[in-house]
Amino acid sequence: SFLSLDHYLKSYRAPLIEETRSDLCARLELIVEGPSSKILSMEATQKPEVYYMDVDFGDCGAVYSAQAHTLRHGDVFILSSVKPEAAEDFSRYGVTYYLAMVTDVCMDDDDECQKHFKIKVGKDIGLEEDLQKLRYTIFLSNIITNMWIWKTLSFDKHMNDNFTVIESHLAPTNSGGDVCGICAKHGGEHLACFTEQLLPMNLNKSQMDVIGSVISVVRCRHLNLMKLIQGPPGTGKTHTFLPVASYGD
């Protein structure tokens, strides 16, 4: 169980970080198969660890995928002084490499071709001579979806009605806030007609009550409500849900 909405959202952060890390590590093991490109130029910006970069997508080399790769926002790649044939190559003496991510794609005047990219590097490259050593980019993965999920998990709950629904479910009250007064007054006849059709299913009273509660939420247009069907294995949750799934067909 969760103590609060914040506790609920935070429970997803560590798994998301681990999923991202695992994906990047797996891609690193297969780095020889990753699309690569030759760095044409790199220029430091006024912000630390942020650079402008221009690349040649046509220079992939024989050991890499022949399919040209176009960098996108959220692409994570390695800036390297060599073209590695294995992850261990980055540990060789004299090899320089950095982990980087595309933060912006700059198009040409006609918005048809990518002109250059703004990238964020894991640590500041430092001297100009170190910048000149970097000759290749090797693509690992795109993490834009994970970034969106992270942003959602860190979102201000007061700015999104969906969080109100989740919060009401995580911390239910007995004040009647999960029941719409309007629907309770006028929806009884329709609900009685629907539940009468379920008699051949031999549902018990508890199951019928659950179905009635869920159908009331489905029909309600006045409140943002959510119901959760839960119970130990073998108690008939799936059997109970079937009428709900077919409701309205």
Judge if pTM exceeds 0.75.
Answer: no
Please state the φ and ψ torsions of residue 124, each to the nearest 5 degrees.
-65, 135
Tokens at 193, concatenated: 């007609």
Ranges assigned E (strand) in 29-93: 36-44, 50-56, 75-80
How far is the C-alpha of 231 from the C-alpha of 235, rounded, in Å?
6
Domains delineated in the chain: 5-149 (2.40.10.170), 172-246 (no CATH)
Q: Which residues contact 143 (CB under 8 A, 6 or more apart)?
A: 20, 23, 74, 76, 101
* 20 closest CA partner among 162, 153, 124: 153
| Tens digit of each residue's pLDDT, the chain (249 residues) | 577 777 888 888 899 999 999 999 999 888 888 888 888 888 888 888 888 888 876 655 434 444 456 778 899 999 999 888 888 988 888 888 999 999 888 766 555 555 678 889 988 887 777 788 888 888 899 999 999 888 888 766 555 666 666 666 665 544 444 555 555 555 555 666 766 777 677 778 888 887 777 777 776 665 556 667 777 777 777 777 777 676 654
For residue 223, give the nearest of 169, 171, 159, 174 by alpha carbon: 169
